[in-house]
A and B are shown apart, each in its own frame.
Chain A
Amino acid sequence: MAGALALAVPAVPAAAPPPFETLRWTAPGAELAALTTQPAACLGTASVEIQAGEALFNSPRLLGGQAAKAGLSCAGCHVNGRDNAHFLMAAVSDRAGTADVTHSFFGAARGNGRFDPVAIPDLARPGKVSRDSAGGALESFVRALIVDEFAGREPTPAMLAAIAAYVRAIAPCPDGDPPVRRALDDQLRLTVSALRGAIGMARRGDAAAARALLAAARHQLGLIAERYPAPPFGAERRDLLAASRALADLDGKAADGDGFTTALSTWRAGFENGLAQRLRRHEARSLYNPANLAFVAPQQDNR
């Protein structure tokens, strides 16, 4: 296949690693598009549960094995719950926009020994799997995806319910779905959704779900860091890292009830009033601005 290359793979620093996670599964030539645009999302009113589901859907650590190690989440294939026309991964895709989700590369349980990639579906459209909440077909499908296909750990029932609620809420936009710009706000929104979700899950006594949501929030902070290189953003990067570590420190306290939820609320207030504001002020100078991404313009094939 076109994009899969072997000794073009730099093992070591001589060539830099992909600076943006998403480019690990982006077709050649589509780098700039993947970094700057995304399919539109029209969720309507999003409850805390739906927001938690969306945060988990965007978290690679919901999955296990190769996907998690690569930083691939549900949203890597279903951007904003839709599709991903640019998705391309060696031996998992046969052309951009396709994936073989029954490949033992991700997990053995559903490996079917064949290479049979299919187009990644837009989850806003009706598909094979019933979205009807009676019967729970969607919940079982998603559970099998996480555990069997992507070798992830067993999600708690509340995590599954949240992801299913999110998937059910994904809808086409009334204006005909023009692609929209990627922006800092995507990450800020998902970070806050994850925290709200974590507080909700902790209140229900679901510490595992709360921890999964903390991991989801930390991942979003990492995605922000990708867009704020040092120099000039050394201070912002340090603060992002410190914010992430503060969440990591809370990881072991997810079963602590009030202490945990209070600490998360404090973190959130500090983040929203402090670092998030600074990041917003600098967004135009960051790598969210397509004008600053000229260096990712499609590369010549120099082999």
Chain B
Amino acid sequence: MRYYRSSLSLLAACAALAAPVALAAGGGGGGGGAPPSQSSYDPTIDYKKGAEAFAAGRYAEAAKALKRVVAAVPRNPQANYLLGASHLAQGDYSRAVKPLETAVRHDGKMIEARRDLGVVQARLGKADKADRELQALRMMQEQCAVGCSDAAKLADAIARLEAAIAAGPQARAAVAPDMRLPSAAALDPIYVAAVALINEGRYEAAIAKLDAALWAAGPHPDVLTYLGFANRKLGRHDAAEAYYRDALAIAPTHRGAIEYYGELKLERGDLAGARAHLARLDAICGFGCNEADELRRWIEEKAPSAG
């Protein structure tokens, strides 16, 4: 029960999730009017199992848990990467392709995913596809000025991928995954730092922290919601929307995600959509809540220009 003190649970609590079994009390902050959440699957639990098994080298077990995470949150790059890398480590190259491709598609900057996707393609004899990942990594290397924090990691990934391409499909040696996961205990400080960065308007830095939180915790709705928020502030509306939708797929009554998604709709000129989000918040927050206050104020202020 110590999650009570977690800063991360501040927002989780705001999600007005299903009522406790023994006690169907609604949150004093306003959860009382909420219908119980429809969702009953917590992907962070399987993510944790998967990540632990992965770190311990139990790849079959890791793949099993991570598959469930990916089924629930198909776009999540971290779970897809770990799933692909688990297949790769077991020598199951053809199964590794799809999750690694998904990881690359949704996080083009994930060096490990590009490296391992390239290695898999090389082992499968698809030299052209392997080369595409190599070129992408080289491009990242060019953009990464001498001292950039990923310089060493990029150089290493490129060297390994070059070696895999040279060896081709004949290579037999197992590919040991090279990925160090942040410890789960690091999550709270990472998350708090990310929120502080958002409050300071340092969105790129916040996104890096939130990505680290995703590695540590898996697809947590609070983290996804703030990723949506930071991307929205940077004008990446499609990315923002995808994060909000992922958060709401896991936690349909997540107040923060409903509020911010409503604000995004307003920014896009969809006044009716924003109002629908406000109505949803009013229904969830029987005793009032900050998220409804905020969205209402946005609509009052912006409606004339947006509508």
* Interface residues of A, count at CB 8 A: 72
- Given A8-B2, A13-B18, decide whether A219 and B37 contact each other with a Cβ distance below 8 A: no
Is the CB–CB distance between A7 and B217 below 8 Å?
yes
B216's nearest neighbour on chain A, judged by CB, is A6
- Given A17-B31, A24-B13, A69-B14, decide whether A248 and B282 contact each other with a Cβ distance below 8 A: yes
* B20-28, B153-161, B165-173 - interface stretch: B20-28
A8's nearest neighbour on chain B, judged by CB, is B3
How far does the alpha carbon of A226 sit from the alpha carbon of B17 in the complex, in Å? 14
B48 at the interface (CB under 8 A from A): yes
Is the CB–CB distance between B192 and A105 below 8 Å?
yes
- Given A90-B188, A103-B196, A107-B199, decide whether A12 and B10 contact each other with a Cβ distance below 8 A: no
Query: What are 13 A-B pairs with beta-carbon distances under 8 A?
Result: A9-B217, A11-B43, A13-B18, A16-B17, A16-B20, A92-B192, A218-B30, A218-B288, A219-B28, A219-B30, A223-B28, A225-B287, A240-B287
Is the CB–CB distance between B293 and A151 below 8 Å?
no
* Interface residues of B, count at CB 8 A: 75
How far does the alpha carbon of A90 sit from the alpha carbon of B37 in the complex, in Å? 26
B110 at the interface (CB under 8 A from A): no
A222 at the interface (CB under 8 A from B): yes
- Chain B residues with CB under 8 A of A89: 5, 7
Is the CB–CB distance between B217 and A6 below 8 Å?
yes
How far does the alpha carbon of A18 sit from the alpha carbon of B1 in the complex, in Å? 9
* A58-66, A121-129, A164-172, A273-281 - interface stretch: A58-66
- Chain B residues with CB under 8 A of A14: 40-42, 45
A residues bordering B, Cβ < 8 Å? Answer: 3-21, 23-28, 31, 60-61, 64-66, 68-71, 88-92, 103-108, 111, 151, 215, 218-219, 221-231, 237, 240-241, 244-245, 248, 287, 295, 299, 301
- Chain B residues with CB under 8 A of A10: 3, 9, 12, 42, 44
In the complex, which residues 281-307 of chain B have their Cβ closer than 8 Å to any Cβ of chain A?
A: 282, 286-291, 293
How far does the alpha carbon of A106 sit from the alpha carbon of B4 in the complex, in Å? 18
How far does the alpha carbon of A71 sit from the alpha carbon of B207 in the complex, in Å? 25
Within 8 Å by CB of B26, from A60, A103, A105, A226, lies A226
- Given A69-B256, A70-B13, A226-B25, decide whether A90 and B5 contact each other with a Cβ distance below 8 A: yes
Within 8 Å by CB of A4, from B14, B29, B39, B188, lies B188
Is the CB–CB distance between A65 and B199 below 8 Å?
yes
B18's nearest neighbour on chain A, judged by CB, is A13
Besides A222-B286, A224-B28, 11 other CB < 8 A contacts? A4-B189, A5-B185, A7-B184, A12-B42, A26-B4, A28-B1, A91-B189, A105-B199, A215-B293, A222-B32, A287-B23
